[in-house]
Amino acid sequence: MALKVTLIPGDGIGLEVTSATKDVIDASGVDIEWEIVTAGSSVVPAYGAPLPQYVIESIKKNKVALKGPITTPVGKGFRSVNVALRQNLNLYANVRPIKSYAGIPSLYDNVDLIIVRENTEGLYSGVEHMVGNDASESIKIVTRKACDRIIKFAFEYAKKEGYKKVTAVHKANILKLSDGMFLQSAIESSKKYKDIQFQDMIVDAMSMKLIQQPQKYDIIVAPNLYGDILSDMAAGLVGGLGVVPGANIGDDIAVFEPVHGSAPDIAGKNIANPTATILSGIMMLKYLGKYEEAEKIETALSEVIKEGKSLTQDLGGNLGTREFANEIIKRME
């Protein structure tokens, strides 16, 4: 029986990179019935918001979605669709693998780490207000429940994927209550995982060490804001936003999407790199238990990139989005 997956093409380059990814996934032989639903700028005139309820309902029904980036309209009244989706569906773990691929120009050639970012609270809770005209407050919410589940997720992920070390990132020396709670949760949970090494690190030191010796880290688990910043920084270590995938995972729902945004500067030109979305698709297939097909795509993608003849512009080549996807499809045939 076909697996049902919600596909949200998104805005800007989202349309191009998700279409390329869908074709690559279909060519792997996996039987997926795609339910294509539209969200983003194009639905605002009709629905008054970029995230219509039918999108949420489709994801809740199918439990798994592949999503392109969505532009956050500038102006009052619009929350980020991405933050809303994660909170609405309780997708509490944001998983971002940072891996170097032979053939992609980058600072290091042997990086293989995962950033696990808390996805529902912290400074992204959306509790912000003015105090008079000249002061503002953003509330950072940290709960023991959210700390415990993200830390547990990180250790379980390490166990499942065969990683040996978990590093918890915080600023508990200054934020003694909020980050202190996150750190305490990590220290407590680490005692249950005797086979996995544990360390904690203050976020500023982590930033430096990640640039100097990224090979020393396996799983990095961090509160929302630090995880967001560290993962874009780490993307810069392995070739940029065009090649870093992501997954938003909850207890029984998962939404897979590239780390990059809708890139309005290159949208509609068939030049965006679909690799990040294809890698997100590979993560999705593994989540669905389709390891053989996932491996087939990963091997074809790695080979095409390694040869270096067929690359998109961001990686120094001259292939279009569609042509690059076709190279991968050809390789799988």
Binding site for ligand NAD (CB under 6 A): 13, 17, 69-72, 82, 241-242, 257, 260-266, 272-273, 276, 314
Nearest to 8 by CA among 72, 51, 61: 51
* Min separation Cβ 83 and ligand NAD, Å: 9
How many of the other CB atoms lie within 10 Å of CB of 2? 9
Q: Which residue is nearest to ligand NAD (CB)?
A: 261
124 is catalytic: yes
Q: Which of 11, 22, 67, 124 is catalytic?
A: 124
> Which of 11, 179, 218, 228 is labelled catalytic?
228
Beta strand 254-256 with 64-67: parallel, antiparallel or unpaired? parallel
> Does residue 314 carry a catalytic annotation?
no
**Cβ pair 226, 201 in contact under 8 A:** no
The CB-of-81 to ligand NAD minimum distance in angstroms stands at 7
Q: Among residues 227 and 242, whose Cβ is nearest to ligand NAD?
A: 242
Q: Which two tokens stand for residue 95?
A: 């998983």
Report the nearest approach of ligand NAD to the CB of residue 274 (Å): 7
In a 3-state reduction of DSSP, which class is residue 135? strand
Tell me whether residue 204 is one of the annotated catalytic residues. Answer: yes
All residues at 6 or more sequence positions from 160 whose CB lies less than 8 Å from its CB, including other chains: none
**Of 198, 213, 217, 203, whose CA–CA distance to 172 is shortest?**
203
**Residue 223 beta carbon to ligand NAD: minimum distance, rounded to whole angstroms:** 18
* Least distance between ligand NAD and beta carbon 11 (Å): 7
**Annotated active-site residue in 26, 31, 109, 204:** 204
Number of other residues whose CB lies within 10 A of the CB of residue 195: 8
With residue 265 as reference, give the H or E element that holds it: none
Show contacts of 205-209: CB within 8 Å, 24+ apart: 206/167, 206/169, 206/230, 207/233
Catalytic residue list contains 11? no
Separation CA 275–CA 218 (nearest Å): 22
- Which residue lies nearer to ligand NAD by CB, 62 or 273? 273
In the bound state with ligand NAD, the residue whose beta carbon lies nearer, of 29 and 264, is: 264
Residue 190 or 273 with smaller CB distance to ligand NAD: 273
Identity of the residue, 70 or 210, whose beta carbon is nearer to ligand NAD in the bound complex: 70
Q: Are 15 and 9 in contact (CB under 8 A)?
A: yes
Smallest separation (angstroms) from ligand NAD to the CB of 231 = 11
If 0-12 CB within 10 Å is exposed, 13-18 middle and 19+ buried, where does residue 39 land? buried
Task: Work out the burial of residue 265: count CB atoms within 10 Å of its CB; fewer than 13 is exposed, 13-18 middle, 19 or more buried.
Answer: exposed
Give the distance, in angstroms, between the CA of residue 143 and the centroid of all CA atoms in the same chain. 23
**Looking at beta carbons only, is 85 or 181 nearer to ligand NAD?**
85
Which are the contacts of 58, defined by CB distance < 8 A and separation ≥ 6?
6, 35, 37, 65
Q: Considering beta carbons, is residue 30 or 39 the nearer one to ligand NAD? A: 39
Catalytic sites, residue numbers: 124, 171, 204, 228
